[in-house]
Amino acid sequence: MEQLIEKIKEKNAVIGVIGLGYVGLPLALAFAHKFRVIGFDIKEATIRNLSDGHSHIIDIPDERLNEGIRHNFHPTHNEQDLKTCDFIIICVPTPLTAEKDPDLDYIKKTCSTIAALLNHGKFIILESTTYPGTTDEVVVPILEQSGLVAGSDFGVAYSPERIDPGNRSYTVETIPKIVGGINPLCTKICAALYTEVVTNVITVKDARTAEAVKMVENIFRNVNIALVNELALIFEKMEIDTWEVIAAASTKPYGFMPFLPGPGLGGHCIPLDPFYMSYKAKKFGFIPRFIDTAAEINDFMKMHVINLAEQGLHRCGRPLFGAQVTIIGLSYKKNIDDTRESPSIKIIEEFINLGSRVRVYDPFVRKITTSSGEIASEPTFDSAVWESDCLVFLVDHDQFRALDLSSIVQQMRSPVIVDCKNLFTPSDAYVYLGLGKGSPSFSAK
């Protein structure tokens, strides 16, 4: 495999990227600045759109995609095109089952596809988020069904994806990259490849350690968000504004890192990774109570949003059943169109289950899929709020902060505002319930 380092230095290596979503497409285009890149995805429609120069990722404008296509990026849904690749990077989803156990089917199927194409000298890198041990215990055995031996006949490493959709300050190229191979040579080769496109590559002992790094990063955030969510629930009862408390605590120049409460967690990593780690911990006979409790608290916040809406409607003499509720903000974080694991999905489903009539609006999202079917975003904000009984703001898109609620509530039937992201200030013009803010008379911004 040593010849791969020479290929990297001479820019003769061919890079394959499997899975052209939020992780794979930006990565493929980053490598395309220096290498020939084969981008593979099983979705023919995705490949057709990419080939026509249309990006489905908000962080990748069409201009950047077309520049890549004109040079070194070649999207395909023909797996045989991967035969020419020296490196194949796996960027496929790792969801949960209905029982919240790890679902590694995408990884397994991808590895089986690669095994059928594998030959001496190729190098396989897994980027999909997963529990420690996946590379050694799942990926390698499937690849070795080719009859070749991992670590000598072909290389294997793990390098966790670090993508923050919508973040223009930190990109694939500028976010430090963790690399861990199944042996020192694999670590060396993998690091050499990523060094060509990433400014800072950090090597760790092995693939298992690299997998653990990703778990720690996201469980750290999950647990701390759960902490502030629990505090928000407590402070509501104590008539204390959680947001003001956190802002003040953040002035401490050491020993404190601010996390903010919200209606639940979304995105592919933070809501899912704790369950991956919990599953693996139990395999070692350990019950991860702290991790499981944090996930339970964060999940409860969706129901708390329903409770706040019900309280507000009750003040107006309206029941939740039959009320016109408008959900404002569908993505899992601000200023993006990504609805993966968004808390808005379960919140919408619960309102519908309780008999509410639901409209939705998000300037970035055209529609959202729920257990009740697809729901299209209203074409305008005004059409979304017209004659609504309750507006539920789940996301702090920048443009929402400029809204004038005093004029908006004049279009509503019942002026109930549920503010989950500290967007607004209480007023006598409407019934205001802020997540973590207590009653309006005690709220401050």
Predicted confidence (pLDDT) at residue 302 exceeds the cutoff of 50: yes
Q: Is 72 helix (H, G, I), strand (E, B) or coil?
A: coil
Predicted confidence (pLDDT) at residue 443 exceeds the cutoff of 70: no
In single-letter form, the type of residue at position 188 comes to: K
* Whether 94 contacts 128, CB under 8 Å: yes
- Cα separation, 186 vs 170, whole angstroms: 27
Q: Is 376 helix (H, G, I), strand (E, B) or coil?
A: strand
Average pLDDT, the chain: 94
Q: Is 74 helix (H, G, I), strand (E, B) or coil?
A: strand
Residues 6+ apart with CB under 8 A from 289: none
Which option is the CATH number for 207-445: 3.30.420.280, 3.90.550.10, 3.60.15.10, 3.40.50.720? 3.40.50.720
Q: Is CATH 3.30.1330.40 the classification given to domain 3-205?
A: no
137 φ/ψ angles, rounded to the nearest 5 degrees: -95, -20
Query: Burial level of 176, CB count in 10 A (0-12/13-18/19+)?
Result: exposed
DSSP 6-21: HHHHTT--EEEEE--S
Instruction: Name residue 370's beta-bridge partners.
Output: 373
11: left (phi over 0), alpha (psi -120 to 50) or beta: left
* Whether 132 contacts 276, CB under 8 Å: no
- 198-235 pLDDT, tens digit each: 999 999 999 999 999 999 999 999 999 999 999 999 99
Q: Is the pTM of this model over 0.85?
A: yes
Catalytic residue IDs: 269
- 41-60 pLDDT, tens digit each: 999 999 999 999 999 998 89
Two tokens at 15?
A: 């890079």
Two tokens at 300?
A: 């409860």
Alpha helices (H) along 255-357? 273-283, 289-315, 343-353
Helix axis angle for 289-315 and 273-283, nearest 10°, is 140
* Whether 305 contacts 395, CB under 8 Å: no
Mean pLDDT, rounded, for 324-335: 96
- 249-285 pLDDT, tens digit each: 999 999 999 999 999 999 888 889 999 999 999 999 9
Element (H, E) at 61: none
Decide whether 3-205 matches 207-445 in CATH topology.
yes
Q: Is 187 helix (H, G, I), strand (E, B) or coil?
A: helix
- The CA angle 79-82-87, to the nearest 5 degrees, is 140
Tell me the pLDDT band of 440, cut-offs 50, 70 and 90.
low
Spell out the domain ranges in the chain. Answer: 3-205, 207-445
- The distance from CA 429 to its chain's CA centroid, rounded to whole angstroms, is 37
